[in-house]
Amino acid sequence: MKTITMNNGVEIPVLGFGTFQITDPKEAEQAVKDAIQAGYRHIDTAQSYMNEEAVGRGIAASGVLQEELFVTTKIWVENVSYTGVKESFQRSLERLGLEYIDLLLIHQPYNDVYGAWRAMEELLAEKKVRSIGISNFAVDRAVDLAEFNNITPQMNQIEINPFNQQTEVIQALKEEGIVPEAWAPFAEGKNNIFSNDVLTAIGKKYNKTVAQVILRWLIEQEIVVLAKSVKPERMAENLAIFDFALTEDDKQAIAGLNQGESQFFSHADPNMIRWMAERKMDV
């Protein structure tokens, strides 16, 4: 598996297995086990996904040592404070059944971000985590956090897909030394992405699916990407992207799909911030 080296020297597998919306415990456990058996070594979860225990069981059932895996989890909004991080991180660690976390992220750019970051810096110093980062931070918030703290975030996990390509944001993050990571690379099927004429035509050239074309497009930009499926055949398919390369014409065609806006919601929307503040997860 190809890796990207983050600003602290830690390598992260460029293609990860996402577990968002896999809420049934048995299904989540089996999906993680199947993903690892298929060849994934990067597993992504979060406190708010409510599946950390199942993810941990799937990891344990896989028979693969923790040292061979890269596991990410995220701190939910209600726990984004110095004390909140310290207490909720320990609960996440216990739910996952792991000795450490490879990457710990602040899930949303709200609440006491700076207090949370100080706690995460301490967890890093204590070697309870190997890397720390952020998720869904606008580029100015990401750079602000980097410039006014001891440690620059290793990662910013944001929405990136053919309809929301975020080219300038990606470049700015890289200039700051922050690796971009894509969630929702398939835009959760919006705008009929899997039957899109441009992506379908490119796929036919290489005997690849639309999903494989999108994943290849992202990793060729040195972007870490998360793909999710509960079907073993799809897991294997999503991993089979290292045997072809896109041409400049392919990339220009994909660039023409950009709509320049989120396919879901704006993180600057006051109503969304209020909704997240009220969404108590008891995690």
Residues involved in catalysis: 49
How does strand 11-13 pair with strand 3-5? antiparallel
Query: Could you give the CA distance from residue 117 to residue 105 in angstroms, rounded to a whole number?
Result: 9
Contact of 239 with 40, CB cutoff 8 Å: yes
Instruction: Report the C-alpha gap between 158 and 225 in whole angstroms.
Output: 10
Q: Which two tokens stand for residue 111?
A: 């609440």
Residue type, 179: V
CA dihedral 161, 164, 167, 170 (to 10 degrees): -70
Using alpha carbons, select from 60, 61, 62, 52 the residue that is nearest to residue 25.
Answer: 52
* Of 48, 15, 29, nearest in space to 185 by CA: 15
Bridge partner list, 42: 70
